[in-house]
Structure 1
Amino acid sequence: MSSHHDPYSGLEAQIESNVPDDLSVSRVTYEGPELVIYTETPRLFADRDGIVPQLAKTFRKRITIRPAPGTQTEPADAEPQIRDLIPEDAGITDLEFFSTTGEVVIEAEKPGLVIGRHGSTLNEITKEVGWTPDVLRTPPMESSTVANVRNYLVTERDERREILERVGEHIHREPQSDEDWVRITTLGCCREVGRASFVLSTPETRVLVDCGDKPGADGEVPYLQLPEANPVADLDAVVLTHAHLDHSALLPLLFKYGYDGPVYMTAPTRDLIGLLQLDYLDVAAKEGRTPPYDSEMVREELTHTITMDYGNVTDIAPDIKLTMHNAGHILGSAVAHFHVGDGRHNVVFSGDVHYTDTRLFNGAVNDFPRAETLVMESTYGRRNDYQTDQEDSERTLIDRISQTYENDGTVVIPAFAVGRSQELMLVLEEAMRTGRLPTMPIYLDGMIREATAIHTAYPEFLRDGLRQRILHDDENPFLAAQFQQVDGGDEMRQDIADGEPAIILSTSGMVTGGPIMSWLELLGGDPDNALVFVGYQAEGTLGRRIQGGNREIHLTDRDGNTNRMTLRFTIESVSGFSGHADRNGLENFVRTMNPRPEEILCVHGDESATDQLSSALYQNFDCRTYAPRNLETYRLA
């Protein structure tokens, strides 16, 4: 990533000509997509209603106003003044000043009270002390991941500012090419589930979308060696749709290969990859595999993240604007809309989507200003891939748990730490609260509790009613007493297996390693117990083989010895809890998409799923459809 043009030439003079004479402009810089104006009169800027929106409209950029060094009240004097301006009910938990940027970071239990109506309290803070406030939510559940990511980014704040300024200059460089075309190259997840990765190219820009691994297939990585992806160090941007490892696991590899540019994602996705990627390395080490990168590359990746809110149009290159929308799949998951050129072409990457509302999330957004091409996930794209209605699914699950409880047995549910686990927690908490299930312990094994804590840190990304319960009704369902963390290792697992009937939610969701292997060993030999699948089991995974009827499995103990075991517990699959849209949901996403795309690439599904969905969309909606293979390039415009 390199720049050959001074993007600031004449910019400061333009800004000065658009602000009143009594407002000073001491320095202008880009930090990523944002235009940052440093001023010696921050209090006057804060006092002028509408000046920042006016500048944003004039320059078509997000504008941040920061005080020039030395213009603020001293931190020791500013802190009590800030606390006086903020209602006590806001619950301030931390307050930290950064003189290099003139920002004060305020962490509070109720950030809305810190912000005030239409940002009124933030303006009052700046008018009073000259500092620019940055507000963060204190997670209702303690999260070591959220704390560690925030602390790390605070520690690296100066380095991040240098990175963002370099990125800003690159984004706002002058175009270098007179040619005009748009292409997509498939690096993975075509006619397969996993290792999602694409390159979106123009003569000016190359953007990598996702970079995941393939569950159950060690060593199958995206085709980053292709000329379209190389040199990796010269990619202009990386966009991550969501945190699941089949989309995110190998992003740190890019930094190992020399990439030093931005990675765009939502804030929850940033925190979740900090959790999932480090666990990915830990699991690899425990299983005796050499991890493809080390934890330093994860930290390097976090340093380069630029987070986006849903709906915000953001420049990521001279000829590309990115907007992220809710995908309804997991926390922070996004449908990525790329506006290429001056209206040249618009490409939508669905990522993984859930079309209808769930207990956790509102359904996926499919309304765009323009959309000529859709790259569409096809996980459940086969003609018979219809999931059970959610209410019926919940009833089936509760009935299975009740039967197992009556048999004095325990139910173990392999679940993804992010998404399905929290959905199940809501179902089980309500069922016990309303008497549909007897109250019993619900044990969370693996990263589930930590992932849940991250969910509570971002309630604005959750479904409307759930957000209301967490923020305003003081009814956080994730804090119910029956949820207990498994933190005592194998000894605690043995005690649970020998104890009273219970429910166990355990990673990994596709039975490819992790604590679920211990539960198979401890519970699998007793026919009174039950194993219930609630999520997609990819081809090649142990979960898929068990789901398909294979009851003879091999387990490896801590000494490396392999033992054969026959599973005797009840094995069931309950559809309807997946974070993916079923065949009907995928068709409805396209049917109601506004505008409907002219061409659709069906990806992220096995060969039959992508072929059958592609054929159906062509027949039903009279648009060009494709089921690409890996290593193919499509010219879109």
Structure 2
Amino acid sequence: MAVSLDLESKIKELLSSVEVSKVEIEGPSICVYIRNPANLSPEEVAEVARTLKKRIIVRSDPSARLPKREAEKAILSLAGDLVESVEFEDVGDVYIYLSKAIPERDFKRLARDIFTSTGWRAIVEMGVPKMMKLPSKDVLDVRAIFHKAFERRMSMMRELGMRIHHEPIVREGAITISFLGASMEVGRSAILVDTTESKILLDCGLKPSQYEEEFPLLEQVDLDELDAVVLSHAHMDHVGCLPYLYKYGYKGPVYMTDPTKYLTYILLTDYVELKEREGLTPPYTKSDIEALMYHTITLDYEEVTDIAPDVKLTFYDAGHEIGSALIHLHIGNGRYNILYTGDFKFGRTNLLNRAVNKFKRVEMLIMESTYGGRDDVQPPRIEAENTLVKNITETIERGGKVLIPAFSTGRAQEILYILNREMNKGSLKKAPIYVDGMIVETLNAYLMYPHFLNREVAEEIYNGINPFTSSGNIQIIERAKRLEDRINQVAKIVQDGQPGVIIAPHGMLNGGPILEYFVHLAPDPANKLIFVSYQAENTLGRRILNGERDFIVRSLSMGEVKVSMKMGVLSIPGFSGHSDRRELMKYIETLEPRPKKIVLIHGEPSKTISLATSIEIRYKVTTVIPKVGERIRAL
């Protein structure tokens, strides 16, 4: 789709050092084609983006590109043995997949060098070193789906460009927000932002339950009118229903960060496979997940992007898991600004930086309240770590096994990092640490995108150290293809008579590999179950914390099993990736600018009400608690 002559003239004026051959619209971006890429500087491109307030992509004219074979030789000459694979796309892009992670400044320099020397716009993606011996099938699957769907992606981007880049017809209409889930509850996050020009869906998740999963109220969403979906992070209560949209006809984009893209695929495919292994019918298929993946548009933090005629999107670091994002919507050329936190952590953790709290404009804050109760004050991180190490040591010394249910992304990696570090220091007695389920695959995202982690951890990875497995005691449990092999795999671990630690999903004991171990270990008082994450209502984990000890558990390998639990139980809340009560209040206190209205979601009723009361009393800000299905007017 061509741009207006006025816009093209302005771009040519701003890029006077190069010869512009054409300017087109591609999805949310303005694509500028030039004939002399060696003359272009990154500063010029940044200046065009700032001046036009648009996302700018610069490609070379076909006449300025080397033939693919020559270009590949030049790329290998520039990057050497770092290159794992190269994929050319006919629009003028070349995807270069590296064999390991390198610092952000280095891969940006490499991309520039490749562009100027070959004429191909280089998108450099980092990989996981072979020496780290992690299974990477899911990573390769995502890349294959993306490139195989090139024609469909380009078709979608052309249609999207036409939808985004036109002048709004109505500039002063109403802005409403519908809460389709996660209101006065934890789970099925989904928020519909509706202006006179556009409809944007924020997250689309499932509500976890031991009995029956709940969907958001998606009947309130007209998929033909939906302009975009924006994903805050890859946890099932935020992403679990996304493929369902594509199953029923949604053809538009979903915006997320690069790590979230890979984590989303891993979580969703595992979910479908688990349902099928249990003899259940999943709500969508792998082909629906593939449709989601090639409709994905990834953005970096603080990269402003048009996603509708009257809406600009910016992601900011949320500190919850790798790639998790605060979602900032700039509506109507600054007329109204919404900040949606998703799940966020306003405190530095072992792996991540704390959530961003400085913005140019925020009129409405939509904030989670998971730990908003008056008593929801988490102990300091160091205290939680010491408690974890102490209890694992005691269990190992008496010959027992520690079972740690953990979400596949976020909590599992931090716990693994801590145990690996403490074993390296000698503070924790060395014993096997078995890592099972999706935790294995999701480790790839942490090793591929260290610039999304805090500086200390990133430097370890850049220096060739795997901070999750370097102690030599981590035993990766790769998924068995046959049920018989899986049964033997679990039996070998639980019956070896040796003390150790097992980390596996699901974090709420709500299904997944963790139940395979639980049914074997629960009857033995020498073992210990340690919770390191939030346990939602109606999950097995919550029932255990509430004092229940006799259950009927459905295990994949054993079917329905009656379990009489005698193992010890401990909950350590200090590892949460959510902000606790103090951090939630501190976030509002330090948030710049102070919003005019706060909407609280993603919390149990008593906790949300308690937090709302405190916010209104202390900060004198109007605070709203919507119900599921409720629609409120922002402006």
Query: What is the TM-score with the length of structure 1 in the denominator?
Result: 0.93
Matched residue type, 1:166: E
Provide the residue aligned with 2:75 in structure 1: 82
Matched residue type, 1:102: G
| Pairwise CA distance, 1:243 | 0.5
Distance 1:429 1:219 in 2: 35
Contact kept? 1:7, 1:173, Cα under 8 Å:
no
Per-residue CA deviation, residues 493-525 of structure 1 (Å, 9 max, x unaligned), is 212112210100011111111122121211111
Which residue of the other structure, out of 79, 97, 100, is the alignment partner of 1:107? 97
Provide the residue aligned with 1:42 in structure 2: 36
Relative to 1, partners in 2 of residues 1:189 and 1:113: Cα closer, same or farther, differing over 3 Å? Answer: closer
Distance 2:554 2:375 in 1: 36
Of the structure 1 ranges 60-69 and 203-212, higher mean CA displacement relative to structure 2 is found in: 60-69
Which residue of the other structure, out of 337, 347, 371, is the alignment partner of 2:338? 347
| Pairwise CA distance, 1:121 | 4.7
Which residue of the other structure, out of 208, 231, 234, is the alignment partner of 2:201? 208
SS of residue in 1 equivalent to 2:404: strand
Per-residue CA deviation, residues 146-202 of structure 1 (Å, 9 max, x unaligned), is 221122212222322222222122111121225422211110000100000011111
Contact kept? 2:2, 2:24, Cα under 8 Å:
no
Per-residue CA deviation, residues 197-233 of structure 1 (Å, 9 max, x unaligned), is 011111111100011000005242101112xx2x222
The reply on whether 1:234 has 2:222 as its aligned counterpart is no
The reply on whether 1:301 has 2:301 as its aligned counterpart is no
Contact kept? 2:523, 2:565, Cα under 8 Å:
yes
Provide the residue aligned with 2:481 in structure 1: none
Matched residue type, 1:103: D
Distance 2:431 2:164 in 1: 55
Distance 1:512 1:215 in 2: 7
Question: Is there any run of 5+ residues in structure 2 with no aligned partner, and where?
Answer: 479-484
Distance 1:528 1:110 in 2: 42
Provide the residue aligned with 2:125 in structure 1: 136
Distance 2:111 2:84 in 1: 17
Distance 2:78 2:186 in 1: 52
Matched residue type, 1:577: F
Of the structure 1 ranges 161-170 and 516-525, higher mean CA displacement relative to structure 2 is found in: 161-170
Relative to 1, partners in 2 of residues 1:211 and 1:532: Cα closer, same or farther, differing over 3 Å? Answer: same
Distance 1:330 1:378 in 2: 17
- Of all paired residues, the percent bearing the same amino acid is 37
Which residue of the other structure, out of 515, 518, 529, is the alignment partner of 2:513? 515
Relative to 1, partners in 2 of residues 1:326 and 1:57: Cα closer, same or farther, differing over 3 Å? Answer: closer
Alignment of 1:593-632 (within 5 A): 593-632=591-630
Per-residue CA deviation, residues 6-60 of structure 1 (Å, 9 max, x unaligned), is 754543344334443x843333212222211123x133543x5743233323322
Contact kept? 2:344, 2:355, Cα under 8 Å:
yes
Which residue of the other structure, out of 446, 449, 463, is the alignment partner of 2:440? 449
Distance 2:557 2:116 in 1: 65
- Number of aligned residue pairs: give it: 623
Relative to 1, partners in 2 of residues 1:121 and 1:114: Cα closer, same or farther, differing over 3 Å? Answer: farther
Question: Is there any run of 5+ residues in structure 1 with no aligned partner, and where?
Answer: none
Of the structure 1 ranges 508-517 and 347-356, higher mean CA displacement relative to structure 2 is found in: 508-517
The reply on whether 1:159 has 2:155 as its aligned counterpart is no
Q: Please give the root-mean-square deviation of Cα atoms over the aligned residues, in Å.
A: 2.1
Contact kept? 2:522, 2:566, Cα under 8 Å:
yes
Contact kept? 1:196, 1:222, Cα under 8 Å:
yes
The reply on whether 1:493 has 2:490 as its aligned counterpart is yes
Distance 1:107 1:130 in 2: 18
Relative to 1, partners in 2 of residues 1:627 and 1:94: Cα closer, same or farther, differing over 3 Å? Answer: same
Distance 2:14 2:610 in 1: 56
Relative to 1, partners in 2 of residues 1:167 and 1:478: Cα closer, same or farther, differing over 3 Å? Answer: farther
Which residue of the other structure, out of 211, 222, 232, is the alignment partner of 2:216? 222
SS of residue in 2 equivalent to 1:26: strand
SS of residue in 2 equivalent to 1:477: coil
Distance 2:333 2:488 in 1: 62
Provide the residue aligned with 1:194 in structure 2: 187
Per-residue CA deviation, residues 597-635 of structure 1 (Å, 9 max, x unaligned), is 111111000110111111111111110001111111111
Provide the residue aligned with 2:383 in structure 1: 392
SS of residue in 1 equivalent to 2:224: helix
Contact kept? 1:531, 1:571, Cα under 8 Å:
yes
Contact kept? 2:526, 2:567, Cα under 8 Å:
yes
Relative to 1, partners in 2 of residues 1:126 and 1:463: Cα closer, same or farther, differing over 3 Å? Answer: closer
Per-residue CA deviation, residues 375-406 of structure 1 (Å, 9 max, x unaligned), is 11011111101111111111111111111111
Which residue of the other structure, out of 292, 311, 319, is the alignment partner of 1:328? 319
Contact kept? 2:551, 2:562, Cα under 8 Å:
yes
Provide the residue aligned with 2:21 in structure 1: 26
Provide the residue aligned with 1:412 in structure 2: 403
Relative to 1, partners in 2 of residues 1:72 and 1:408: Cα closer, same or farther, differing over 3 Å? Answer: same
Distance 1:32 1:534 in 2: 41
